[in-house]
Amino acid sequence: MMDKGVILYPCYFDSELMRSEGRRVSRETGVAQPEPGDIERILKTSHIPYTREAKSHPAYWWKHQGRFVVEYAGSKRELIRLITTSLKNPGKKV
């Protein structure tokens, strides 16, 4: 288990949620109901070290989608943008 890292939940990228419900990206750049597996694939192909934990976002404790603890040298916002770009354009390599 990592001591520190950037915490990411799948709801951060969900265009169907309001910002007050946990969305961190604009509706235009987000995707509807992002799959944790897609986020994991993006992190893996981008060679960004991460750990997937069986934790839930506090507002969505019943969904059990998990969360990612990511070792990233840049800012959290930068990492979210990187993942959002890849979710929106799945064929494009980051």
Model confidence pLDDT, tens digit, residues 14-34: 999 999 988 899 999 999 999
What DSSP element (H or E) covers 69?
strand 67-70
Please state, for a pLDDT cut of 90, what percent of the chain lies above it.
72
Q: What is the spatial distance between Cα 80 and Cα 34, in angstroms, rounded to a whole number? A: 13
Whether 45 contacts 83, CB under 8 Å: no
Q: What is the CATH number of domain 8-88?
A: 3.30.56.30
Spans of all domains in the chain: 8-88
pLDDT value of position 76: 94
Query: Whole-model pTM?
Result: 0.85
Q: For all residues of the chain together, what is the average pLDDT?
A: 89
Q: How many angstroms separate the most distant Cα atoms in the chain? A: 34
Instruction: Return all residues near 75 (Cβ < 8 A) that are at least 6 apart.
Output: none
Nearest of 5, 10, 21 to residue 83 by alpha carbon: 10
Asked if the model's pLDDT at residue 7 lies above 60, the reply is yes
